[in-house]
Structure 1
Amino acid sequence: MTSKELYVARGTTADANYALDIDPKRAGWEYCSLRIVELEPGGTHTFTTGESEWIVLPLQGGCTVRTADGTSDEEFQLLGRDNVFASVSDFAYVPRDARVQIASGAGGRFALAGAKCERQLPARYGPAPEVPVEERGSGNRLRHVRNFASADGFDCDKLIAVEVITPGGNWSSYPPHKHDEHRPGVEAELEEIYYFEIDGPNGFGYQRVSPSREGGSDVLAEVRSGDAVLVPDGWHGPSIAQPGHDMYYLNVMAGPGRTREWRICFHPEHTEGYR
């Protein structure tokens, strides 16, 4: 894919249902999807999950999630949050081959992170207090990782998803790393989407993806709230936040491996003293 195809500017995939809509066909791969739903007060959105499992994650506001898969009906009340910088959020997992309705009395914005999968797991609620949060890096490489659907934090069939808050002026997703080869015990093959929000008006950041092989992905994008970057392959990082403006990104990952795991390889030229 070209650099223009890897960088997805806000609004370029919008339609009547979604402010952002990235599916495997749009991305040119097999597994990962990301949609952003914006609801007015009292609004609802209904969709079928098809061959993918999904997590409904409030970005701003709360909602009710109702799901039916032919064998059971579930309803989850998501308290949500004021915005992505304010706090961790609760979330709902909904399985493949189900019908889902999202309803919000006060309105809000909601991310739908999805991955094509094989197993139909039960619908579940993810409480915010149970989301593992870690500080990764130090100094100007410090960032806060919310592992709400990490490989070892929440059970999914294929989907892996985390949130990262990078303080203004800091670098994250560093050292550059990749996960585009299947090497048992060393590296897992995973597609990835980065979705960005920047705190404060006129804020921006930068995202780098560099080739890990001849003809591989190569992009340096200035990113603002609502933008996304696709990572089908290559070294990704750093993600750089403008001074004075914290940067948020949502990572959505999935791949063909029989085992759901996050195994990465760091760039050998950028690892000395930086992990």
Structure 2
Amino acid sequence: MSKLLVKAKDGGGRVAHVTPQSAGWGYVGFDLHRLTPGETVAESSGSREVCLVFVSGKGRVHAGGQDLGVLGERMSPFEGKPWSVYVPQDTEWSVEAGTDLELAVCSAPGLGGGLPVRVIAPKDLHEELRGKGTNTRYVTNILPEGEPADSLLVVEVITPGGHTSSYPPHKHDQDNLPAESYLEETYYHRLNPPQGFAFQRVYTDDRSLDETMAVEDGDVVMVPKGYHPCAACHGYDLWYLNVMAGPKRTWKFHNATEHEWLLKA
């Protein structure tokens, strides 16, 4: 199995866990919690900022001494936009599940920005249709660079069955602004129906890194560098949640030169 692929554990609780230490990088962290009604996850953000994303289900959120109420709406990531909560560094937070709940905890270094806790509601999110033909996909920016945060960028994407995504292949592994930014990235994958699979390739120009993975429902793929396109198989829609962070909070990418013609076709 590829060293870039993290398989979610069976059962409940924290079923996926990626840290800078486990990934061998410096910025991105990702946890996935599966809770049943009445179960609670509670943590402190410490030196990191956090974005809580309700992948599916509902729960009561407390953060920074505030009761934010019961959040969550969709019961599947393929049904509408998510509820999310931004939690700054050095802040206690907790979520008590009101239904079966899948909660993503996205994290990156806090930079002392002094930002407040805030709820990010579905009505505040814009869904963007990107690409054309069999490269069409649907992008929802949860925490884009135009919204306040210290390091985090968070986005979710639905790729219909038979379509490609993160394509033509692009990368963001050079701290070379304004041409390209260095951003580590995780992909948390879900499939509909869940017994399906998709493919993701992570590779560099010199092929010193070249991994192609069959991703199943619940898998996490780590992208430390290189290009990282995805392909959804016929009959199975692919949803994924991206978490990105690096030394500068901006998404500037470089397309694979040999495939740029696709943007003009």
Q: Which amino acid aligns with 2:16?
A: L
Shift of 1:209: 0.8
Q: In the alignment, which residue of structure 2 is the partner of 1:36?
A: 32
What SS class does the counterpart of residue 22 from structure 2 fall into?
A: helix
1:248 to 1:214, Cα distance in 2 relative to 1, 3 A: closer
Q: Which residue of 1 aligns with 2:262?
A: 273
Identity of aligned residues (%): 34
The residue number in structure 1 matching 2:225 is 233
**Matched positions, count:** 263
1:172 matched to 2:165? The reply is yes
* Cα contact 1:213–1:234 (8 A) shared by 2: no
- 1:228-267 matched pairs, under 5 angstroms: 228-237=220-229, 239-257=230-248, 260-267=249-256
- What residue in structure 1 maps to residue 192 of structure 2? 199
State the alpha-carbon separation in 1 of the partners of residues 145 and 68 from structure 2.
25
Superposed CA offset, 1:62-103 (max 9, x none): 1111112xxx54524313311000110121111111111111
Deviation at 1:236, TM superposition (A): 1.4
State how far apart, in whole Å, the 2-side matches of 1:141 and 1:16 are: 35
Residue equivalent to 1:57? 53
Structure 1 ranges of 4+ moved more than 2 A: 14-17, 72-77, 212-215
Structure 1 residue 116: Cα displacement:
1.4
Over residues 211-239 of structure 1, what are the superposed CA-to-partner deviations in whole Å (9 max), with x where a residue is unaligned? Answer: 13463x321000011101111111111x0
1:80 paired to 2:81: no
1:85 and 1:102 map into 2 onto residues whose CA distance is 22
Amino acid of the structure 2 residue aligned with 1:127: A
Query: What is the TM-score normalised by the length of structure 2?
Result: 0.94
Q: How does 1:89-100 map to 2 (within 5 A)?
A: 89-100=82-93
- Separation (CA, whole Å) in 2 of partners of 1:126 and 1:116: 20
- Mapped partners of 1:128, 1:117: distance in 2: 25
- Contact 1:193-1:251 at 8 Å conserved across structures: yes
**Contact residue 12 and residue 33 of structure 2 kept, 8 A:** no
* Aligned equivalent of 2:178: 185
Partners of 2:74 and 2:108 in 1: how far apart?
24
- One-letter amino acid matched to 1:8: V
Q: Which amino acid aligns with 1:194?
A: Y
Q: Which letter maps to 1:162? A: V
AA aligned opposite 1:18 = R
CA-based RMSD of the aligned residues comes to 1.7
How far did 1:4 drift? 2.0
Gaps of 5+ in 2: none
Partner of 2:42: 46
Gaps of 5+ in 1: none
**Aligned partner of 2:128 among 114, 126, 134:** 134
Corresponding residue of 2:151: 158
TM-score (ref. length: structure 1): 0.91
Q: Secondary structure at the match of 1:182?
A: strand
The superposition leaves residues 115-141 of structure 1 with CA deviations (integer Å, 9 ceiling, x where unpaired) of 112123210011101112101000000
In 2, Cα distance between the equivalents of 1:88 and 1:43? 24
Question: Structure 1 pair 241/65, CA: closer, same or farther in 2 (3 Å)?
Answer: same
Match of 1:24 in 2: 20
